[in-house]
Amino acid sequence: MTIRHVVSWKLATTDAEERAQHAAGIKLGLESLPAVIPQIRFLQVGVNALAGDNFDVVLISDFDSDDDLRAYVEHPAHAEVASYIRSVVAGRAAVDYEV
């Protein structure tokens, strides 16, 4: 069984330059995690490319089990990135499902 973990964030700022900086910071932080969290089987981060009321950043990641997903969530490197993300977002939506 593979668990797919998908999270989308809406950034808090309305300033376009600051929004781009925050999105880049989230992407950079998340993309650093596979090097230090071995439970991550796949990780992709996308930044919204179109104008409108879309969410700004999306994470798609795969894990072999719920235990591996839990280990990722509890890992100190993830906690550090998550802390930054919480400091710049206004909203979050997530879903975990079997692939």
Percentage of residues in the chain having pLDDT higher than 70? 100
Choose among 26, 4, 2: nearest CA to 13: 26
Residue 51 pLDDT exceeds 90: no
- Note the pLDDT of residue 75: 98
Residue 56 has pLDDT above 90, yes or no: yes
Place of tokens 């104008």: 51
The pLDDT value recorded for residue 26 is: 98
Are 84 and 4 in contact by the 8 Å Cβ rule? The answer is no
Domains for the chain: give ranges and CATH numbers: 3-98 (3.30.70.100)
Question: Which class for 91: exposed (0-12), middle (13-18), buried (19 or more C-beta within 10 A)?
Answer: exposed
Written as one letter, the residue type at 65 is S
pLDDT for the residue 89? 98
**Which alpha helices (H) appear in the chain, and where do they start and end?**
16-31, 66-74, 76-88
- Does 52 have pLDDT greater than 90? no
Each residue's pLDDT tens digit, 20-50: 999 999 999 999 999 999 999 999 999 999 9
